[in-house]
Structure 1
Amino acid sequence: MSSSEGETFKPFFIGLTEKFTFNPKEGIDNPVMVITDSADSVSTPRPRLSVLKREEGESYGFNLRVEKHCHGHVIRNVVSGGIAERSGLQDGDRLLEVNNCYIDDVSHIEVARKIKQSGHQLCLLVLDGEEYERAVSQGKDLRGLVRAYNEEGCKPPRLCHIIRNPGSGLGINFTPLEGEKGRFSVSLVSGGAAEKAGVCKGDRLVWMNGAMVSHLTYSALSRMMKKCGNHITILVMDSESENIYVQKRIPILPAMAVPHKLPYRARKLHLISGPEGYGFLLRLEKTPSGRTNHVLREVNRGSPAERAGMQDGEILLEVNGESVESLKHEEIVDRMRLSGQQFSLTTITASGLEFYTQLGLSPLLFCDDDAAEKEKEHNAPASTQVQSPPKEKNDLSSPRLCAFQKGPVGFGFNFGCESQSPGAFISKVTFGGPAQNAGLVVGEVVIEVNGQNVEQKYLEEILLLVKKGGDFLSLLLMDQTIYDKMKKTDTPTTDVTQREQEEEDDYEISIL
């Protein structure tokens, strides 16, 4: 991806404010760890680790942005005295990892999603902005830099679900490390339930049934074990890796874990409408615990919903990758309707949702994404021509006008541009969004925005025109090949109107 082509958190949502609300159990409160070394500090970039912990209702106090003139995910607007500043984040820092997951080459929407799923505690690895740009210009391997910082032999934690064996029980015991409160070594029954669940001899216990064990005494841990019943979910890590994490003051979080034998997973379903619709009902239902969920019901036999694998009674978590947690029933239905002839849903069984709720984890942390490749296929340029007027699709020799309104998740497309050059093209069209339904095609050249020629305008000026148009947008577009031929013969596309525009550097903003 070039520096001029950004990924948006919501499809083409400029200046978006997103409030993350979730309620996992508290973890270990760690101060920021800043690694410095006087030797070779000029030539070797030095990442910094920031650990952020917030309370319910608090924000982390920074913006995550993708900007036209900068590479990477940029930290901006760090609130003075806020959580981010106290953890060591600085304006202009570039984000390299979220919870030990390398994200420099990941889209903005996925990075924001990882932050959302982390809970009240977040572990970020960042690099100073100037060092980052210098490393990029010198062609340095950023992934290798991160790997060296993390020490390549360090293994991720494992989240293991153990079901009691009638004969040998859970097959696990814990021994406190002498002189170190809250640190416990694991011993196993050979061939027992814990070993089969992915726990290894000598592992260190980090977390049990939603609670960090760092503040527990051995007697308190034993009481927890006695109350666990027929199953238990624990977070463990090999002793060598755990020692490295402790030395570096890196928190060991469930969001970093590799899952083992978890009884429930969220699933992604991709639905394509048939002659009689999708074949299911969405109902708002209250559970015995008092919580209200959006439930999928009455799945018709042979319907698109059944073919996608939908099961009666599943709980809806996302529509087209957007969480429905804070949405009203009518808003969810509107998003489905605005998706056109196809959309994706993320679901989980009622038992699965209860499982993750009791652990204080997001059910989206560990998702079976069997439909990922199919969704990529539906995002291909050919699919963006759905509902485009036949005459405009076939007549590529002349510009065509596409007009549409912003939907609940934005306009549903990205602009792209050549580095340091004026003009823009359609770089991405979001599946099911207003832009797709209006017929936008990836690669088309943008000639006009809301009636104003933009062929000689830079991307930030074009974005400003879009913002000034509010919820309505009209684009005059042309096939790239035809456009290039016309330019070679000096054939005018439209009358060029020049107008000075206020400079705007953001391509996308997420407030965290």
Structure 2
Amino acid sequence: MAGYKPRVISLTKRSGQTFGFFLRVEQGEEGHLIRCLEMGSPAELAGMKDGDRILRVNGTFVDELSHSEVVELVRNSGASVTFHILDETSYKQAKAQGVKLCDPQTTAVANGVSKQAPKPKLCYLVRSSSGYGFSLRSVKGELGLFMTEVIPGGVADRAGVRINDRLLEINGENLESATHDQAVDMIKSAGSSIMFLLVDAETDKYYQNKHKVGAWFATTKYLPHKPRIVEMTKGPDGYGFLLKEGTKQKGHFITEVDRGSPAEKAGLMVKDRVVAVDGHNVDSRDHDQVVDRIKQSGNKCMLLVVDKDTDQIFTQGNVSPMIFWEETKDSLLPPSYTEAVNAPAVVRPATPPQEKEEELKPKLCKMEKSSAGFGFHLNGIQGVCGQYIKEVVKGSVADRAGLEDDDIVVEVNGVNVETSNHDEVVALIRASGSSLEMLVASKSVYDQLKAKGVTITRHLLGETSYVQVHASATPEDDRQEEDMHETPAEPKRERTPSVSSSSSQDSMDERL
């Protein structure tokens, strides 16, 4: 069952106690389903999820047994039972692919590490003044369109496109049977940005004769903007945010985040759209159903959210942000029994209670250009505000000054550039000569400060001094690019006054 790794969960209950879940078979659904998990029960604490399928009970494969037989196996286990469980999405995919779930070799292993099935990739490109930086190749008499002449450092290269990748979709539209000219026309008519679904040679070979490859299997790791998973623990006054169902735009949106609330501390932001609650997609749910789902979470809640830029990218690609959840959820689950027993103990140094708050500061980096330059890329979209740092060369002047990938540029030589376009920022850097001073902030710090309505200046540094780096003899690259592809950081959001729950014909609000 390569590519599908069941979780091993061992439960123990006290006398008179249940394991804390319902085992069900449902019309239209395959398998033995976990439902109605009780908060704080052995099942919930062990990491069982609603919709999980039970594959084995104490080592016995049960997927093909009747409901009563599985119930009897669990009851006969007494106070302790061990399950092999597969999540809902993986189970359905495995069934669709004809995978033998009874195979005891649950996953391919190499050197003790699980080998996952290769994935197609989503690549988002924003055209520069010189184009996308690739060509399409096709072979007469053969199906398939392939990437070629990918310019190193160009738009396509930075978006994850590689030579000989096969093109499957453009903006969610399949073109595996399209001609070369048809594909070129689609790319030209797409406008200034485009989403590709691609497979490299290894992935292409893996899926041959298995099943149709689609975006639902794809990795999102190459996308410039990704959904966020927000984990919150309820405080005395709730989670501290306001949820509103959109009218002109479909979806459930965050309209307020209280200062100092669990929601703010977890990184929830105004205008975020809620895609899922505890792994359950809520796009098709109404306001009351989403609120009920959040309330059912108890004292802890996990939201999958997208900001405006991320939402636009996934909409353009005609793909659900849920694929990000599916790709990352394994890292969020509790370890299996075996993993927990064999995991080394983690020693964590004591952390001052206010350390996180104290880190909400920008960085002032002063650099003296070496013979090889500063050693970083400046990314952005030409003509659009918002610039950030990318590809800092290790050991370069920029690296030693403290610049890091994805740092957002706030000031250049004392001039605020948050509302400046790419060309204007490049001009300021070039005009600085051999000395450059930049005020930057990591994306996390930038977003949190903006969410609080804080103006980012060097005054936030207090008495913290900057790192001064002089010219170095180490070879480096001066790489300030003018045709980057990511969208700018979000503009400052104004906080609205706190209001109580209300509803109207146009929208519905409820504080959580």
Give the TM-score normalised by the residue count of structure 2: 0.47
Identify the structure with bigger relative contact order (alpha carbons < 8 Å, sequence gap 6+).
1
Give the TM-score normalised by the residue count of structure 1: 0.47
